[in-house]
Structure 1
Amino acid sequence: MHDQLSEAAVTTPGPLDWRREAACAHLSEHSVFTRIPAEAEPVLRACGRCPIRKRCEAVVDPSHTWFDGVSGGRLWRNGREVTR
């Protein structure tokens, strides 16, 4: 299901333009879509000050899309939260 929210789709202008307001918008896509906790740390720190944190998790809906990466201040792997 990761294909529904591919890295290209998140950075392409269109319905996902809300991401431009995200605190992680300037960070590496690799860090946003990683499954590795250490690589996700910069994004997770940015989430702490993000104005759209709740919207991010609602739009991405990680537990239903089997998302891999950071959303809503949490790291997800196959739609399950990764404990740090």
Structure 2
Amino acid sequence: MSSLATAVTIRLNWAFVRSGDQLDWRRAAACADLPQRYVFTRDLSEAEIVLRACNRCPVREECEAVVDPAHTWFDGVSGGRLWRNGREVKRTER
């Protein structure tokens, strides 16, 4: 599957997660009201606002379990980490 097809699939899955009654945890996510552009970015500087929200998020574990970034070639923020093609993007100390 291409990166574009994977990104589209993940975005569709994320939209399903937002609307599913079974997955009410998503409404409690600290990033729920942030623009999706920042949640699904591949760029660390754009992801910073979401990563800061993750620090206070009560559903970090659920987020990573549902998104399963390492197995879905996910691009974006999940579970308090930025992912690019299913690999964690390491943050450098400033």
Fold agreement, TM-score > 0.5: yes
Which has the greater radius of gyration?
2
For residues 24-35 of structure 1, the aligned pairs below 5 Å read 24-35=31-42
CA distance in 2, matches of 1:43, 1:9: 17
The equivalent residue for 1:5 is 10
Matched residue of 1:6: which SS?
helix
SS in 2 for 1:70: strand
The Cα shift of 1:16 comes to 4.5
Q: Which runs of 5+ in 2 are unaligned?
A: 1-5
RMSD: 1.8
- Aligned match of 1:59: 66
Match of residue 77 from structure 1:
84
Distance 1:10 1:50, change over 3 A: farther
How much has 1:11 moved relative to structure 2?
6.8
Q: Deviations over 1:26-62 (max 9, x none)?
A: 1110000000000000000000000000110010000
8 Å CA contact 2:7, 2:75 repeated in 1: yes
TM, length-normalised to structure 1: 0.88
> Which amino acid letter does the alignment assign opposite residue 6 of structure 1?
R
Unmatched runs of 5 consecutive residues or more in structure 1: none
State the aligned residue count. 84
